[in-house]
Amino acid sequence: MATQCNIDGRGRLARLITGLLTLAGAVAAIVLWAWPGGGAVAWIVSALLVLAGLFQVYEAAVGWCATRALGFRTPM
């Protein structure tokens, strides 16, 4: 299934900002929690944060929102 642009410039900017903030949170979680001795849970949570942040940046880059593609109307 090909992605079709379904968000405008404001939505793209919002997804880019939240994606970068999520990636920053992932780096903080890795450096402050997982790396110094966190167990498997710390690494899994950190990896999920990285994936979520990268996905949001991808959405911003291509102008596509997964939530809107599922039929939900987001108030942006």
pLDDT digits (tens, 9 = 90+) for 6-57: 899 999 999 999 999 999 999 999 999 999 988 999 999 999 999 999 999 9
pTM of the model: 0.90
Q: What is the pLDDT of residue 29?
A: 98
Q: What is the pLDDT of residue 1?
A: 61
Q: What is the pLDDT of residue 34?
A: 97
Q: Is the pLDDT of residue 2 over 90?
A: no
- Under DSSP, the state recorded for 71 is T
**Distance (Å, whole) CA 32 – CA 21:** 16
Q: Is the pLDDT of residue 68 over 90?
A: no
**Distance (Å, whole) CA 73 – CA 13:** 17
Q: What is the pLDDT of residue 11?
A: 93
